[in-house]
Structure 1
Amino acid sequence: MNALGTAVVTGASSGIGAVYAERLADRGHDLIIAARDEDRLNSLARRVTDRTGRKVDVLRSDLTKDEDVARLEARFESDASITLLVNNAGMSLNGGLLDNGPVALERLIALNVTAPTRLARAAGRAFVSRGAGAIINIASVLALAPEAFDGVYSGSKAFLLNLSLSLSHQLKDSGVRIQAVLPGATRTEIWERSGKDVDAFPAEMVMAVDDLVDAALTGFDRGETVTIPPLADEGAWNALNDARLFMAPYLSMRDVAPRYRAP
């Protein structure tokens, strides 16, 4: 086992996942890369190995399918070299809630919510037992701005943010690190796949994928639990989070708040 161990990257055939694979190999990680497009995975694996010499295992996986998620879950238990999970695989809807049928909605929830939850559980259990490891969940700034886009997609990303904050709190003394990354609009194939035009945004609002991943890894190196690469004012996130934490002791009480009592 190499010093940094093996990183598992889901959705690694293109976009954010592919760049994470490249960057983590540059840092010295071996890789397990998972996605549906096996040809692209193999091309990425050859490129990474030729350039870095790192070992890369390709795992063709459709993480909307239970058996493929289970196969990847099992790797965390059986392979003690795994030290990092990048929960990146995800999709967006073509249209919104009212424009899509049950199959499309269930597929998004399976990929954006169920699969990363199960993989975080498998990785977390393995890492806690070893006293070390890290989980990076790729969420979205839409977790904080549900009015800006489709609520199903943004809701799935809010779920990942909540999951990350909860896990970070629960595992703070375990040696296991958790990071949620909240990209803004990023130039990847998810736009085209969901029938959207990323070029409809002003150019200054769309980040290059390499810049996004490099910033996210800088946040990881700094020990951040939440990394928002486009946000210049860190104090804005801190203020929002502090307000949330301030409310926490008052959110569950025996008595109804006076403002809800009949006059």
Structure 2
Amino acid sequence: MNAIVTGTTKGIGSAIVKQLAAHNFNIVLCARNQQELDAQLAELREAYPKLRFYGMKADMENMTDVKEFAKFSLKCLGSADVLVNNAGLYIPSDVLQEEESSLERQMKVNVYAPHYLSKFIAQSMKLKSAGHIFNICSIASVKPVINAGSYSISKAALLSLSKVLRDALMPFGIKVTAILPGATLTDSWAGTTLPSERFIAPEDVASSIINCLQMSAGANVEEIIIRPLKGEI
């Protein structure tokens, strides 16, 4: 089985890659930091010598990189069974006072890149009449965060993209799942004094993907909302 995952060296992306590898997936990875990517690839190859892992330095804000990564992925794997659009950009800001580029930048990473990759990789999946696309949205997709206005807009758009893709790809046997995590304990919360129990673990999001992949061929989980037990932070 073959998977493609974006934004893989930290947090949710790293957890997803580890669980996919543990379930015998060959994986193509991308991240913006070459050193971190090389270290991740080395760790995976040592832990799973019988599997194949490939990596490309790519910035999902740059559409040239996005297109090159799409081509690179299929060149390495030949075909893809799973695509996880995980890479995201979060710029906390008041929508009335934010920098002019804030919305545009977040739309590029959080919407334009998944839009292109999904369309491109789906062409390969259609040949096998099978495949699964996961979009890592956010609780902000359905409950706007006032201090992250443009982020909320972009994640709402990603959820909408997921719904459109679900209907468009249904006739071809391709599944689409949107995952909406609440506050997740990643590097974004570095330095927090809150206990880990107030957060979702990145592994929780990764486990939800594995659970979806283990369901019967006729089942498609369209949306998964995962929130901290005691509510948002």
TM-score normalised by length of structure 2: 0.86
Residue of structure 1 equivalent to 2:226: 229
Residue of structure 2 equivalent to 1:109: 107
**Deviation >3 Å, runs of 4+:** 75-79, 199-205, 219-223
In structure 2, what residue type is equivalent to 1:142?
A
Shift, 1:202, TM fit:
7.2
Residue of structure 2 equivalent to 1:80: 78
CA distance in 2 between partners of 1:215 and 1:154 (Å): 22
Shift, 1:116, TM fit:
1.0
Q: Is 1:218 the counterpart of 2:230 in the alignment? A: no
Shift, 1:149, TM fit:
4.5
Residue of structure 1 equivalent to 2:161: 163
Residue of structure 2 equivalent to 1:253: none
Larger Rg: 1
* The structure with more helix, counted as a fraction of residues: 1
Give me the identity figure in percent: 29
1:186-201 matched pairs, under 5 angstroms: 186-191=184-189, 199=192
| Cα RMSD after superposing both structures | 2.2
CA distance in 1 between partners of 2:194 and 2:167 (Å): 36
CA contact (8 A) 2:61 2:105 kept: yes
Shift, 1:25, TM fit:
0.8
CA displacement 1:67-93 (0-9 Å, x = unmatched): 101102224664533221110000111
Change (3 A) 1:103 1:44: same
- State the SS of the aligned residue for 2:96: helix
2:58 counterpart (46, 57, 61): 61
Q: List gaps (5 residues or longer) in structure 1.
A: 233-263
Change (3 A) 1:34 1:94: same
Range with bigger deviation, 216-225 or 34-43:
216-225
1:1-263 matched pairs, under 5 angstroms: 4=1, 6-53=2-49, 54-75=51-72, 78=75, 79-147=77-145, 149-191=147-189, 199=192, 204-222=197-215, 223-230=220-227
CA distance in 1 between partners of 2:228 and 2:122 (Å): 28
CA distance in 2 between partners of 1:202 and 1:64 (Å): 33
Q: List gaps (5 residues or longer) in structure 2.
A: none
Aligned residues: 223
Range with bigger deviation, 143-152 or 199-208:
199-208
- State the SS of the aligned residue for 2:226: coil
CA distance in 1 between partners of 2:179 and 2:223 (Å): 6
Shift, 1:153, TM fit:
0.8
Residue of structure 2 equivalent to 1:257: none
Change (3 A) 1:31 1:210: same
CA contact (8 A) 1:34 1:41 kept: yes
CA contact (8 A) 2:92 2:151 kept: no
Higher relative contact order (CA 8 A, sep 6+): 2
